[in-house]
Amino acid sequence: MNFKKIFTLTLGTIMTIGILVPIFTFAQNSSAPSQGNILCDKLSDAYSKVAQIIVQKEAKIGIKKTEIINKIQEYWTKQNANLAQKRQKWDDNRAKQIAKLEEKFPNGAEKQAVIAFEQAVSSAISARRTAIDSAISDFRRGVQNLKTLRQSKIDAAKTAFNNFITTAFEKAKSDCLIGVPIATVRENLKISLAAAKKNYNNEVKDIEKIGTGMDQLIADRKDAFEKAIQDFKAAMEKARTDFKAVTEQEDSDKSLKEASENSGGIMATSTCCKSAKNFPNLCLIGACGCSPENSRQTKVCDCGNGKCFNGSACVANQ
């Protein structure tokens, strides 16, 4: 959605030469002195017409602004609903995948690995969603703040503009009543209104600069999204690696256990070095020769007297 639209509405259309048209009607036949009071009354009529034009323009802008705000709110509401729906679908699919893993690995270390994997995935998803939701919230709050700032500046510019016009017409009416030539009154009023227009245009240029803040909000949101995604990918990669390490170790242990049994050995446990894997090569010195603080209980192949497990089968001691 192009949120920059909310910064494009100004009262610039009010300040067109069209609002000057009514003031010229009171100056027709201005060379006739007897018509002075009538011409001054026409000046008041001209001010009323200008004020009416401004009110009408402001009303149209107000309606348009309300429409844009409503569209933004509707878009955000729809965005929330779509995101919630997608997340529910992702959760359902993940639950199915975890159920398959639980069915495949129902016992032992592999079962614990499935549980650990599920917890790691849930934590990664929760962190990603929190980061995404925070980025969305920050973006929307930033949009609201820009709207508020812009509106305050518009209100100040509008007030100054209206005051400028009121003062200009009051001065023109006063000059008219004390006998200042109508041509002079008209020219002075024209100059004052042109000055009002110039001042307002300068204010509008300053107001429109606020819209550039949207670029920064969009960039910040994009950066937050990308970081959340990268962090999630890193967490998922670690979860998969940890899970794979356990399952691969279990597969290896099963294979080595079969090799041990097929060559006449039996599975046992022994205190071996922490760095040693299950079913280490016991034909070499070192795998189970570490100090107690550097050792752990490890699965080994007991080949009986005169034999040792070389990592693949029971063989005679050399």
- Sorted by sequence, the CB contacts under 8 Å of residue 243 that are 6+ apart come out as 113, 114, 116, 117
What pLDDT does 38 receive?
66
Give the pLDDT score at 205: 79
CB atoms within 10 A of CB 221: 17
Q: Specify the pLDDT at position 58.
A: 81
CB half-sphere exposure, 3, CA atoms < 13 A:
22
- What is the pLDDT, as a whole number, of residue 149? 86
Encoded tokens for 8: 């494009």
Residue 317: both structure tokens together: 């001691």
Q: Residue 313's CB: how many other CB atoms inside 10 A?
A: 16
Mapping DSSP onto H, E and C, the string for the chain reads: CCHHHHHCCCCHHHCCHHHHHHHHHCCCCCCCHHHHHHHHHHHHHHHHHHHHHHHHHHHHHHHHHHHHHHHHHHHHHHHHHHHHHHHHHHHHHHHHHHHHHHHHCCCHHHHHHHHHHHHHHHHHHHHHHHHHHHHHHHHHHHHHHHHHHHHHHHHHHHHHHHHHHHHHHHHHHHHHHCCCCHHHHHHHHHHHHHHHHHHHHHHHHHHHHHHHHHHHHHHHHHHHHHHHHHHHHHHHHHHHHHHHHHHHHHHHHHHHHHHHHHCCCEEEEEEEECCCCCCCCCCCCCCCCCCHHHEEEEEEEECCCCEEECCCCEEECC
- pLDDT tens per residue, the chain (318 residues)? 544 444 444 444 444 434 444 444 444 444 444 445 666 777 778 888 888 888 888 888 888 888 888 998 999 999 999 999 999 999 999 999 999 999 988 888 888 999 999 999 999 999 999 999 999 999 999 999 988 888 888 888 888 888 888 898 899 888 988 888 888 888 898 898 888 888 888 887 777 776 778 889 999 999 999 999 999 999 999 999 999 888 888 878 888 989 999 999 999 999 999 888 889 999 987 888 898 899 999 999 999 888 999 989 999 987
The pLDDT score that the predictor gives to residue 34 is: 41
What pLDDT sits at residue 8? 43
pLDDT score recorded for residue 28:
43
Is this prediction's pTM over 0.85?
no
The strand pairing partners of 219, in sequence order, are none
Query: Residue 265 burial by CB count (10 A; 0-12/13-18/19+): exposed, middle or buried?
Result: buried
